[in-house]
Chain A
Amino acid sequence: MSREKFTANSFSATLKSKYPVTQSGVQGNILTLTVDTGTYATLATYLKEQGFTRCLTVSAIDWLDDNEFEVYYLVHHLKNNIYTKVATRIPRKKPEIPSLATVWDTAALHEREVWELFGITAVGNPMLKPLFLEDWTGKPPLRKDFNWRDYVQKEYYKAKEG
Chain B
Amino acid sequence: MKKNRIKVIPAKKGETNRVFARPATLRDIDNHYCAGCGHGIIHRLICEVIDELGIREKVIAIAPVGCAVIAYDYWDFDVTEAPHGRTPAVATGIKRTRPNNIVFTYQGDGDLAAIGTAETIHAANRGENITIIFVNNGVYGMTGGQMAPTTLAGQKTATTIYGRSLRREGYPIRMLEILAPLPGARYLERVSVHSAHETLRAKRAIMKAFKTQVDGKGFSMVEVLSMCPTYWGMSAIKAAERIRSDVATFYPLGVVKTY
A and B: bona fide binding partners? no
Residues of chain A having any CB pair with chain B under 8 Å: none
Residues of chain B having any CB pair with chain A under 8 Å: none
